Structure 1
Amino acid sequence: MGLRFIFMLTRNDRTVVDAAQQLQTALGLGVRHIGFKDIGLPLEQLKSLDAAIKAGGATSYLEVVSLDRESEIVSAKAAVEIGVDVLLGGTRVDDVLPIIKDTGIRYFPFPGRITGHPSVLEGTVEEIVESAKTIAARDGVHGLDLLAYRSAQNVPELMKAVCAAVSKPVYIAGSIATPERIAVVQNAGAAGFTIGTAALDGKYPADGNDVPSQLTAIIRDVAALNKHLSPIRKKRLATAVSSGGGEQVNNTQINVAVFKDASGWSFREHDDELFFVHRGCLLMKFRDREETIEPGEFIVVPRGVEHLAVAVGEGCEVLSATTTASSVE
């Protein structure tokens, strides 16, 4: 799956008033994990926001910032009414679990002692780890939402300790505003992280301070860490033809060749082969018929079928794709 980036439509622990506009920007850039807080906008607007997230093919997250039992219960009920996919935050697991039971909501509460607004994580590394172990062991808890960068402790040490102590996924929240911090999050073994204020306020290192530039930079940096960037550059087909070059794509060998004479009758025991005519004309003979393949057309020769490829005229440029024997069991 790789490290997951969750874009929070929030600033200073409140859903921003232009969340709907920022959501469309995020969806247009391919962000697929998007969240908001339970305060900042009326419930009906949060419902509309959640519906728009899902309509855009993304997963919705609600992060609770309530500091007392009564308001956290209200927030959990709001999460159910809104219909979010994931509930992040909160500390009162005993009160929340009965509310979200059988709703399908995945629950990631805060470990440790949370105080203040914006939220701060208090306690020693050992205390936070013990809290994490206790909470993660509960049925109905799917993972943890760790406010690591809101802690006064050694943050990399804290993240590694919590991730190592529990078998469920850990998301990291709070003040992640640089690619270096994202790399630290990945190295700690976390499943994902949230960024809100940093991107909305143009604090992430990027080509611009606007939200599209900010999100583009974050997506790029996460893709690089997940090794999801392609090192392969485009090539000219004519150059490949002249050099007789080929490419290996997984278990498929792609070749470009010039056919000038009859190739001789042959067959492949294990592999299907595709012939795509780029330039010229190719006559493919079978034992029962002949097929003429013009430029822009292709033909697949199944394994075990005898065939004879003949260039029509002076020559024919053909791209072929064959599954290599190494993939055959």
Structure 2
Amino acid sequence: MGLRFIFMLTRNDQTVSDAAEHLKTALSLGVRHIGFKDVGLPVSDLKSLNASIKAKGATSYLEVVSLDRESEIASARAAVEIGVDVLLGGTRVDDVLPVLNGSGIDYYPFPGRIVDHPSVLEGTVAEIAQSARDLASRDGVGGLDLLAYRSPTADVPELIAAVCAAAGKPVIVAGSIASKERIAAVRSAGAAGFTIGTAALEGHYPAEGEGLEAQLAGIVRDVAELNGHLSPFGKKNLDSAFGSLSESWTPRVAGHVNDMQIKLARFEGAHTWHFNPREDNLLLIHRGRLLVRFRDREEIIEEGEFIVVPHGVEHCPVALTETCEVVVLEPSTASATGGSDNAHRTEKAASV
């Protein structure tokens, strides 16, 4: 799985009052990980947010920002009541784990010393890494929530890498990520994901256009690019592609789907009798009419129709029009076998 982007419906460590509207925007863009804080809205409103998130098949997160023991326990109980998928933050693991026991909630506490509000991460890289090691060793701790960019003294990429190495479990980086460069640094350091809240809501992320939709679209696109999830393929026009063919019965590769090749071929006249020893293929008629002779029957394939020819079945294609333009779908390993007069077969198809 690639780097995870978690959109937080928060500003300055509080869930925003118009979170429901922002949630609609995020869900419309296909954002799959969405969270909120345990302060800023009543639990009843947080329940509604959570229900909307999960109704769309997204993963919900509650991040704890409580600084005292009783408030943190109350937040853990709220997480159970709300029914979130993941509880982020908090530092009192011994108090929280019993509350979460049996709930199915993944727990990602903060490593290091957390002070103030908005939260600040204190400690050296070595101290925070040791804290991460200790926390991750606990049963019931599924990962860590690292306030890396809230550390006033640490080299942040070094800190993230050290915590990831020490934890051996997924690490989510939270706080003050507002550029593709920082997202790339988080990914390179080995983190599993990151959160963005205030930066997107206030329009700090470099994006094409104004407003939250543009912000989220820019973040999602950058994450997809960093994860290698952008498609390098554009559409192809079949008329233009067939127009580039100069020879008959000589397939040209127009694209690939997994281990399958999409080939284009112009048929003229009759082919020879032949068969594919191992692979099936599909013949789709783009222009013209094609007769396919089998040993037991004949099939006429019109424009917009296709036929599957199973492996091992002898057949002989014949163009019924002056030329017949055919899309062939078959494995890249496919080869035909026929008699000595099998001049039309090509061992390897060139690309178009």
TM-score over 0.5 for the alignment?
yes
Aligned length: 326
Look up the match of 1:249: 257
Look up the match of 1:229: 230
Give the whole-Å Cα distance in 2 for the aligned partners of 1:265 and 1:103. 65
> 285, 288, 297: which one pairs with 2:293?
285
Look up the match of 1:36: 36
Any runs of at least 4 consecutive aligned residues in structure 1 with deviations exceeding 6 A, and if so which? none
Look up the match of 2:193: 192
Look up the match of 1:301: 309
Matches within 5 A, 1:1-329: 1-152=1-152, 153-244=154-245, 245-246=252-253, 247-325=255-333
Q: Is the 8 A contact 1:206 1:217 kept in 2?
A: yes
Amino acid at match of 1:135: L
Q: In structure 2, the residue corresponding to 1:269 is in which secondary structure?
A: coil
Amino acid at match of 1:262: A
Amino acid at match of 2:28: G
Q: Is the 8 A contact 1:11 1:200 kept in 2?
A: yes
Give the whole-Å Cα distance in 2 for the aligned partners of 1:303 and 1:99. 60
| Deviation of 1:325 (Å) | 2.2
**Identical aligned pairs, as a percentage?**
67
| Deviation of 1:260 (Å) | 1.2
Give the whole-Å Cα distance in 1 for the aligned partners of 2:297 and 2:104. 58
Give the whole-Å Cα distance in 2 for the aligned partners of 1:94 and 1:270. 61
Give the whole-Å Cα distance in 1 for the aligned partners of 2:288 and 2:54. 49
| Deviation of 1:193 (Å) | 0.3
Structure 1 length-normalised TM: 0.97
Amino acid at match of 1:298: F
Q: In structure 2, the residue corresponding to 1:313 is in which secondary structure?
A: coil
CA deviations 1:157-185 (Å, max 9, x no partner) are 10111111121010100000000000000
| Deviation of 1:114 (Å) | 0.5
Q: In structure 2, the residue corresponding to 1:31 is in which secondary structure?
A: coil
| Deviation of 1:236 (Å) | 1.5
| Deviation of 1:287 (Å) | 1.8
Give the whole-Å Cα distance in 2 for the aligned partners of 1:283 and 1:16. 67
Larger-Rg structure: 2
CA deviations 1:86-107 (Å, max 9, x no partner) are 1110111111111111111111
Q: Is the 8 A contact 1:201 1:209 kept in 2?
A: no
Look up the match of 2:349: none
Deviates more, 1:43-52 or 1:281-290: 281-290
CA deviations 1:276-296 (Å, max 9, x no partner) are 111111122222222222111
CA deviations 1:206-241 (Å, max 9, x no partner) are 012300000010011101101111122222212221
CA deviations 1:52-74 (Å, max 9, x no partner) are 00111101011111101000000
Q: Is the 8 A contact 1:107 1:141 kept in 2?
A: yes
Give the whole-Å Cα distance in 2 for the aligned partners of 1:209 and 1:132. 38
CA deviations 1:12-47 (Å, max 9, x no partner) are 111111111111111111100111111111111110
Deviates more, 1:274-283 or 1:87-96: 274-283
| Deviation of 1:262 (Å) | 1.6
Q: In structure 1, the residue corresponding to 2:204 is in which secondary structure?
A: coil
